[in-house]
Structure 1
Amino acid sequence: MPLPPSSPSEPAPANATPRDREILDAEPMLRNFGGPGPTVTMLYALFLENADELSRVLKERLALDDLDGVRLAAHSAAGAARTAGAGRLADLFGSVEEAALRGDASVARRDAAALDRALADVKILIARI
């Protein structure tokens, strides 16, 4: 898994791409838990399990036009994604949450439609750790 620089003045590793860092910034997790190992693996597995479930609940609530349920699921998922370093996924969940809060089901549906691809991208990068 390519890692971003640990400080702004340090150059990015040669194999790191900006796109990868936008999808998953694993550096804080790896730094906080001493690098790749069983703890990081367990935490990312738990994150993915929860993200999959929250995405499913969000879409289920959206199909029922339950925007409050959509907002709650999106809020939980956005926080978990942010903590895991999954920035793009967190932004999408956050956008769905904001749309639901405004009562804008069409924007919530549009952004929810992109969740599967964003989550798949995160899974690919987590698998490389």
Structure 2
Amino acid sequence: MPQPPPTLSDTPPATAVPCDRDILDMEPMLRNFGGPGPTVTMLYALFVENADALSLALKERLAAGDLDGARLAAHSAAGAARTAGAGRVADLFGSVEEAALRGDAAVAHRDAAALDRALADVKILIARI
């Protein structure tokens, strides 16, 4: 059976690429704020803090069987991830939101479980800014 391609969290830091647009497309943020600098750094730090908190809230809501609460957390996080350019993370949060809306707890749990790795990959790239 074919294995999935390695993610940035599987790649040693010395060989990891500095930017992967599937994980983090920094172009809009850098363009809107004039390139890397303290504002971009602060906004990405805020994004990471909020994404971690929303991911935790989402998982707590799912564990409690509260699909509506999970949907709301996923919705907020998906929007923030899209704004930050974190496409894979946005897609996962969006999938959890849609699954929760359909009442599909199994898919919501599956995609919520994938968030830790996706967020770790985003954090690797943000740390290199």
TM range (shorter): 0.7 to 0.9
How many angstroms apart in 1 are the aligned matches of 2:55 and 2:28?
24
Say whether 1:60 aligns with 2:60: yes
Indicate the residue corresponding to 1:97 in structure 2: 97
AA aligned to 1:35 is: G
How many angstroms apart in 2 are the aligned matches of 1:36 and 1:118?
22
Indicate the residue corresponding to 2:6 in structure 1: none
Kindly report which structure 2 residues correspond to 1:34-73, keeping only aligned pairs within 5 A, or say none.
34-73=34-73
Give the number of aligned pairs. 113
Say whether 1:28 aligns with 2:3: no
AA aligned to 1:63 is: A
How many angstroms apart in 1 are the aligned matches of 2:113 and 2:26?
25
How many angstroms apart in 2 are the aligned matches of 1:111 and 1:39?
31
Question: Shift of residue 62 of structure 1?
Answer: 0.4
More relative contact order, 1 or 2 (CA 8 Å, 6+ apart): 2
Kindly report the root-mean-square deviation, in angstroms, between the aligned alpha carbons of the 2 structures: 1.1
Indicate the residue corresponding to 2:123 in structure 1: 123
How many angstroms apart in 1 are the aligned matches of 2:38 and 2:71?
33
Indicate the residue corresponding to 1:10 in structure 2: none
Question: Shift of residue 118 of structure 1?
Answer: 0.2
AA aligned to 1:37 is: G
Question: Shift of residue 16 of structure 1?
Answer: 6.9
Equivalent pairs: percent with the same residue?
Answer: 87
How many angstroms apart in 1 are the aligned matches of 2:83 and 2:21?
14
* TM-score w.r.t. length of structure 2: 0.85
How many angstroms apart in 1 are the aligned matches of 2:35 and 2:63?
41
Question: Shift of residue 70 of structure 1?
Answer: 0.3
Deviations 1:4-47 (A, max 9, x none): xxxxxxxxxxx777xx1100000110011011100000100010
